[in-house]
Each structure stands twice: as structure tokens, then as C-alpha cells.
């Protein structure tokens, strides 16, 4: 179990956040096409999981735009944006923003992802959604970068995430 802050107030996060050098549990999340997808659907690719509470917040929207721009153009790399947003809202966000280099995945049918990946906010006003985190996986799904952002209102360390891919 981890702890982060929301507007300076500590909040508890449930589950075990992935560690660099380890493997991650498989997942089942819902795509914007309403299909269930897992790691096998991105086999052989490097993965940047941009895990956010909701695309309806400025910081989540910013991180999605930045990863679309920065990591979306990298060879053999897919950017997966994971949020509690409904697939319809996530799809609309990407279409409105012109984002074509990210795959939006929702926890709405599969909330078990949040605890399995150690990002479930367990208390406070955001209880039940994900904390802000970035997990970068190599082609064999081994963790090569992991950041559980200490203050939910802050952006992740983009440079560190991208450096793991070089």
C-alpha cells in the first residue's frame, strides 16, 4: 500500500505499485470500441501506461496530450491512457483534441485493475478512481520505469519516462 497527496492531504492508495525490473499483472480494460483488451493485445511493443484519474481534469488532459506528442511517435511504442472515464467520453476527448497516438482504456467494467496495479485511491474525494502514475514496459512487459506521482495535481516526469525508452 502506498500514499500520495491530493492538494497536500495524504490519501491511501491500495495495491502494490509495480517496481522497476519486475513484471506486471495482466489486465483487462475496456477500449473506446467497447472491447476488452489486455497486455496480449499489445504484445511485442513497448508500452507507456499513462494512468490518470479522469480526462476531465486539466493535468490528466495535459499528460495525455504530451504523451501523444512525445512517446506516440517512438518506434514500436504504444501509449495506453488508463482512466475511470467511460469509453465514450475518452473517445470524444481524443477526437476533439486530435490525438491519434494514444489508446484510451477504461477501468469502468474492470475496477480490479486499480488494486492489481497499486493505483486505487482508497479514501478522500477521489476514492474509487486511479492515482496519477506512469509505468513503462519493455517488449516483454518488464517494468523499465515506474512513477506514482506524489501529488495527484502534479504532472508526471515525462523526461524520465521517455529516457527509459531510449
Domain holding 157: CATH number? 3.40.30.10
Greater confidence (55 vs 147) lies with: 147
Three-class DSSP category at 105? strand
CA separation for the pair 135, 129 (Å, rounded)? 17
Confirm whether 94 is a catalytic residue. no
Q: Which of 60, 121, 136, 148 is catalytic?
A: 60
Q: What is the dihedral of CA 99, 79, 115, 58, to 10 degrees?
A: -40
List, in sequence order, the alpha helices (H) in 5-132.
58-70, 87-97, 112-116
How many folded domains does the chain comprise?
Answer: 1
What pTM did the predictor assign? 0.93
Mean pLDDT of 106-121: 96
pLDDT value of position 21: 96
Going by pLDDT thresholds of 50, 70 and 90, the confidence category of residue 114 is very high
d(CA 160, CA 17): 17
Q: Which domain holds residue 106?
A: 2-163
Amino acid at each position: 500500500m502506498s500514499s500520495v497527496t491530493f492538494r497536500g492531504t495524504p490519501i491511501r492508495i491500495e495495491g502494490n505499485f509495480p517496481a522497476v525490473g519486475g513484471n506486471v499483472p495482466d489486465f483487462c480494460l475496456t477500449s473506446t470500441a467497447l472491447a476488452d483488451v489486455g497486455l496480449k493485445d499489445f504484445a511485442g511493443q513497448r508500452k507507456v501506461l499513462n494512468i490518470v484519474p479522469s480526462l476531465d481534469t486539466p493535468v490528466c488532459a495535459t499528460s495525455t496530450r504530451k504523451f501523444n506528442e512525445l512517446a506516440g511517435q517512438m518506434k514500436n511504442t504504444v501509449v495506453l491512457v488508463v482512466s475511470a472515464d467511460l469509453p465514450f467520453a475518452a473517445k470524444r476527448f481524443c477526437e476533439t483534441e486530435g490525438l491519434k497516438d494514444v489508446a484510451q482504456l477504461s477501468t469502468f467494467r474492470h475496477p480490479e485493475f486499480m488494486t492489481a496495479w497499486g493505483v486505487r485511491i482508497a479514501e478522500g474525494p477521489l476514492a474509487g478512481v486511479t492515482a496519477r502514475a506512469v509505468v513503462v514496459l519493455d517488449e516483454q512487459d518488464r517494468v523499465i520505469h515506474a512513477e506514482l506521482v506524489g501529488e495527484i495535481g502534479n504532472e508526471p516526469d515525462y523526461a524520465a519516462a521517455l529516457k527509459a525508452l531510449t
